[in-house]
Structure 1
């Protein structure tokens, strides 16, 4: 495994997204023992960046990682997120990045994760009712107190990134970025390069489609969030399967899996990028981390880059209102 710097935070080139172990996908929360084995196998393979959030569950994913990392905390750059749970009474899925809410959130996350500090603390979504300067200032205080090491933003646009960075240097921005979703390239990536901010792409495998293993939505559970996602419905889904087939064709040439090629393309976009493919299975974490050893030629990278973006919006209308890009 190679390592890079997200600003001044050294992380494995490929991380692990833990959300699906507890939340959002078919089978989430049904096999915690396998999820814990997956975390342990990731650590054995040199993965150091592990990502969660208080909203995943809510809370159960942080609790799971707290179990998995007992006795192993010093091996991990642990990232979690605040701002999608309002602790003042409104509860989950309510934006709240006020300083008081951040204070409540961090104490809960520390307890569930079984740690005295969070390495990378992200604002999960921009709260338009709270000036980003106030949010950044609150996290800066937590950094001074030793409860947080670094500040991050998730799905933030250029103006928000600049304003936050002026108060407390932003270590990383997390956004959806993959061969399927490239909307941040024009506006966000130049700002990250300019300000020396790392990028942590989530859903780097197109929520499973780029692995080549998702060919139908019939097996999705009722609570699988992909059921209502525009990219998984009707003609959009069929077009996206055709794009995945293009990736598989190139993967066959390279002697790698489609997932490894999709990750290798992402890694080639800059040495400040550390994707966090999510999985709850040991076999998948072994496959994903091996992408670090896949080298694509300039011609192969160009072929992949020339593929059209995925058909359909990446979020539902309600979810999209929380995004800045």
Structure 2
């Protein structure tokens, strides 16, 4: 599978990574998916300390032993769990991040993390302190690069201006094109986008739309009603007749120079195999990509702009 550079870093990742959040709590099943991903040429695995209270990191860590040096492991921090308190609390402090990384390293069974990401962020955070935490971890060799996972324009702009982030993970798909407004600025700073949710909860996959969950049927997805989603899928077939829905969706994201990789999740081997085949399919032509932009909405973020 083709590898792409993340930002200006020395991290080269398969153009499709595996979003590990959907691996589940059965370790043998999770291991089978990770093994198959590696067999398919995927070298990029994205997890987080938040996923199943660290169990996900443990599964990934045990699955990659003896082949760690060939893989790019990304994880995230910024959410803190305290016994006796209800739920996770947001904590982007230097103290928390520099302690959280030690726990993640232990669970992953490694002495370094390739890409360490802030799992969120608000404009009210002490961003300078958060950046300082990541920069010190980088100097110590505990992480190779760092990035943020955020869709908030005001947060993204601050990190682009003040930090040496390599990547920004953003929800991005043909039915959520809001990040495109910021791609020129992100590219200008030599930073890459990692596209999560490229299949939009399966709406853009080869699965029949009628199999969508009740919430999507009732409320639609993003600014699309359910009826509009059905219309879009019909138009998508006309705009990119050479491609399956999954191929068109993943290739649309990968067509942007700002995007280093897509990271769809996979809870089944068949999903993983279908997604890998789709990213290895023929890329969209400029005409096809233009038609897909024409038939879809170019929404913009309304909040968190300044």
Band of TM-score, shorter chain: 0.7 to 0.9
Match in the other structure for 2:193: 199
Q: Give ranges in structure 1 of 5+ residues lacking alignment.
A: 23-28, 221-225, 315-319
Comparing 172-181 and 50-59, the one that deviates more: 50-59
Match for residue 296 of structure 1 among 262, 265, 284 = 284
Match in the other structure for 2:136: 141
Please give the alpha-carbon distance, in whole angstroms, between the structure 1 residues aligned to 2:237 and 2:28: 31
Residues 43 and 75 in structure 1, CA contact (< 8 A), matched pair in contact too: no
Match in the other structure for 1:177: 172
The 1:89–1:200 alpha-carbon spacing in structure 2 relative to 1, beyond 3 Å, is farther
Match in the other structure for 2:228: 239
Residues 247 and 281 in structure 2, CA contact (< 8 A), matched pair in contact too: no
C-alpha RMSD of matched pairs (Å) = 3.0
**Structure 1 residue 277: Cα displacement:** 1.2
The alignment covers a number of residue pairs equal to 302
Residues 158 and 191 in structure 1, CA contact (< 8 A), matched pair in contact too: no
Determine whether 1:61 maps to 2:52.
no
Comparing 209-218 and 195-204, the one that deviates more: 209-218
**Structure 1 residue 204: Cα displacement:** 0.5
Please give the alpha-carbon distance, in whole angstroms, between the structure 2 residues aligned to 1:230 and 1:139: 39
Determine whether 1:85 maps to 2:74.
no
Match of 1:50, SS? strand
Determine whether 1:161 maps to 2:156.
yes
**Structure 1 residue 214: Cα displacement:** 4.8
Match of 1:80, SS? strand
Match in the other structure for 1:223: none
TM-score normalised according to structure 1 size: 0.82
Residues 161 and 170 in structure 1, CA contact (< 8 A), matched pair in contact too: no
Match in the other structure for 2:96: 101
Equivalence map 1:106-121=2 (5 Å): 106-121=101-116
Please give the alpha-carbon distance, in whole angstroms, between the structure 1 residues aligned to 2:231 and 2:187: 33
Please give the alpha-carbon distance, in whole angstroms, between the structure 2 residues aligned to 1:163 and 1:101: 21
Residues 16 and 278 in structure 1, CA contact (< 8 A), matched pair in contact too: yes
TM-score normalised according to structure 2 size: 0.87
Q: Give ranges in structure 2 of 5+ residues lacking alignment.
A: none
The 1:123–1:231 alpha-carbon spacing in structure 2 relative to 1, beyond 3 Å, is farther
Match in the other structure for 2:206: 212
Equivalence map 1:238-257=2 (5 Å): 238-250=227-239, 253-254=241-242, 256-257=243-244
Match in the other structure for 2:14: 12
The 1:138–1:97 alpha-carbon spacing in structure 2 relative to 1, beyond 3 Å, is same
Match of 2:261, SS? coil
The 1:14–1:238 alpha-carbon spacing in structure 2 relative to 1, beyond 3 Å, is same
Comparing 159-168 and 265-274, the one that deviates more: 159-168
Match for residue 145 of structure 2 among 138, 143, 150 = 150
Comparing 270-279 and 175-184, the one that deviates more: 270-279
Equivalence map 1:216-231=2 (5 Å): 216=210, 230-231=219-220
